[in-house]
Amino acid sequence: MQPRHLLAIGLIASSGLTLADNEIKAVKVSGASHPSLAGELPTGTLTLDRETLASMPAGNLTEVLDTVGGLQASQLFGINGSEASLDLLGFGATANQNTLILLNGRRLSNIDLASPFLSGIPLAAIERIEILPGAGAALYGNGAVGGVINIITRRRYENSAGLEVNGGSYGTLGGSGYATGQQGNLSGAVAISTLDSDGYRDNNAVRNHSAFADVRYQEEGIEAYFTASGEDQELGLPGGRTDAQFRNDPQGTDTPFDNAEQDNYWLMPGLRIALRGNTALTLEASKRRQQQAFEYVSSGSVGETVVESISVTPKLEGQHTTGSAVHNWTLGLDLNEYDYDSQTSFGDRELEQSQRAWYLHNLVSLTPKLSVSAGARKLESTLSGEGQDKEQDGEMYEGGIRYTFTGNLALFAGAQRSVRIANVDELSPFNPPIDPQTGKGYTAGASWSQGRQHSTLTFWRAEIDNEIVFDPTVGAFGSNRNLEDRTVHKGVSINSRWRLDKDLMLTINASAQQARFDGGPFDRNDVPLVPEQTMQLIADWQALSWLSTQISHRYVGDRRFDGDLDNRFRKLDHYRTTDLQLTARYRAMYLKAGVYNLEDHQVVDYGNFSNTTNTATLYPLPERHYRAAFGMEF
């Protein structure tokens, strides 16, 4: 695509609605002072702020995200969010490749099939979480098919500190601490956390240690910052259970010695400089290292994979007016270099992948009530190390419109063209050549807010061509490949938070969705692992000045087993769970106590079907269990 075409597409923009102090307010974004555009996009952007995060009976980031309508988290083993899969808009087994995960706008999603490491991000360090269903391809790039989850750490620090010890069922014991401070133009934060648990299942122990640090220097016209995070984890792998084993001994295992280890760190420096004319230059870089080792004693296989990456992501942002229209534009360049080294029983691979992209995005308030947006991105990818270099590229576009009525009722509609480049596992010599996956996505809906009440209703439809899937019916062991025919994903979600009175808050999040193959050998079949309905009901009650109560109810509907593209096996059963948490506070101290899966249901979050043996394995989640925490905040 010629540069003049890209510039023409980008010269429109928007203002919108953003969540601040639990109120939705119309704002205009200054490119010189606002690091995020997500809250202003004319889409169904959802924002979980600090107060919302603090009120949830969640012990980790995965449990937080699982409360959002239209977003499903599958936890496999149910301990601290390890190995979790996050699925926006119903992609099932390929969810991690079609949902883009960011930390402060920078990629956490991997270049292989591994899940992003989220358990090392402490909830205490998060300022807000921005969720863009069916949007973000032009701004954020490769893999933003179902949408984007952007985790934003705190940016303003005052003098404070906190300590917590926690424990619960299955021999779980952990703790965390943080300290923040400010001296003149310099502020910063450090946080550490640790978790030691035997886990719900046999051979399900987890040992997790993480550390986080953030330092910021601000003065007029300049901001410098450095964020670092590291995590070390050991995890037992209990495997699946047959139907009979699930009924008789859901906590058991046939793989008592299988295990995995993970170590990773991120280093993220950045510099933001205000320029003339209400523009700003942002220079950011990151260095990441992820090491994963596994030992499957049950099958006699071992392996270790190390992925090292360096990224440089400069961007220029600004705000200007033309007549009565206010433009907010972003012009950026993303450079990502990956080194992939894998040594396993199946063979060794040493690869290098280079991804280069440039993008332009613009938002304009045409009137105080009407806003539009548009953007485009050009991506090129080169994978080398196995014979001839594999070149892949793609072009992404997105745009939207929002109209806000009197009374903070807004209607929005958007569309995007997304691209997903096959990852290094999918481009392995064992698979046929794989082309980039492309998709057309459409969203529409409404949002309404008043004071501390906010609701967003979103309809979506995505048509995916050349979808990259693992097809177990190909060959003796299955293969990753492009589907010749498209798949169609569609649904509706509601995310609503209501202040019923000064002491009672009600949250209603739900979705109804359908993902099906449209043509080919699987025509009209359901895409595996996509639940037909999901629902989360949460009631927060300030019972006394010192005591708060939260009860939440989760429902996940029927869905096909992973691997059952033919839809010839039964569905995974729907399930319900209820959680109850009490929080008591006295001055600087607090005590939290909770019971989870109150009804003591046997719950299966994931299941896999084998076409070869015509049998299925189930991955149970914990039955009724308990957690308690004691902490102090200064």
pLDDT for position 5 = 33
CA-closest candidate to residue 12, choices 332, 328, 414: 328
Q: Give the tens place of pLDDT for each residue, 252-277.
A: 999 999 999 989 999 999 999 999 88
Q: How far is it, in rounded angstroms, from Cα 362 to Cα 331?
A: 9
Alpha carbons within 13 angstroms on the beta-carbon side of residue 183 total 3
30: pLDDT strictly greater than 50: no
Judge whether residue 27 has pLDDT over 80. no
Is residue 52 over pLDDT 70?
yes
Facing residues of 437 across strands?
Answer: 420
**Distance between CA 25 and CA 42 in Å, rounded?**
14
Residues 6+ apart with CB under 8 A from 388: none
Percentage of the chain beyond pLDDT 70 is 92
pLDDT of residue 103: 87
Please, how many CA atoms are within 13 Å of residue 103, restricted to the half-sphere of its CB?
30
How much of the chain exceeds pLDDT 90, in percent?
65
* pLDDT score for 13: 30
462/418 Cα distance (integer angstroms): 10
Give the mean model confidence (pLDDT) for residues 540-547.
94
CATH superfamily of 3-153: TonB-dependent receptor, plug domain (2.170.130.10)
CA 622/CA 489 separation, integer angstroms: 30
Show the 3-state SS of 561-590: CECCCCCCCCCECCEEEEEEEEEEEECCEE
Dihedral, 106, 109, 111, 112 alpha carbons, nearest 10 = 160
User: Distance between CA 552 and CA 19 in Å, rounded?
Assistant: 23
Q: Where are the domains of the chain?
A: 3-153, 160-633
Strands 99-103 and 147-153: parallel
How many other C-beta atoms are found inside a 10 Å radius of the C-beta of residue 427? 21
Yes or no: say if 131 and 99 are a contact pair by the CB < 8 Å rule.
no
Read off the pLDDT of residues 114-132 as tens digits, 9 standing for 90 and up: 777 777 777 777 889 999 9
Q: What is the pLDDT of residue 407?
A: 75
Answer for the pair 385, 351: CB distance below 8 angstroms, yes or no. yes
Lowest mean pLDDT among 16-25, 38-47, 325-334, 484-493: 16-25
| pLDDT score recorded for residue 40 | 66
Q: Which CATH number fits domain 160-633: 2.40.170.20, 2.60.40.150, 3.40.50.150, 1.10.3720.10?
A: 2.40.170.20
Question: pTM (2 decimals)?
Answer: 0.88
Distance CA 91, CA 418 (A): 14
Over residues 137-168, the pLDDT tens digits come to 999 999 999 999 999 887 778 888 999 999 99
Give per-residue pLDDT as tens, 568-617. 999 999 999 999 999 999 999 999 999 999 999 999 989 999 888 889 99
| C-alpha torsion angle, residues 36, 40, 45, 50 (rounded to 10) | 60
Residue 72's pLDDT band (boundaries 50, 70, 90)?
confident
Q: Is 177 a residue whose pLDDT tops 70? A: yes
Q: If we measure between CA atoms, which residue out of 271, 304, 312 comes closest to residue 288?
A: 312
Once rounded to an integer, what is the mean pLDDT over residues 199-217?
92
Using the predicted structure, report yes or no on whether residue 19 has a pLDDT greater than 60: no
Q: How far apart are CA 479 and CA 317, in angstroms?
A: 43
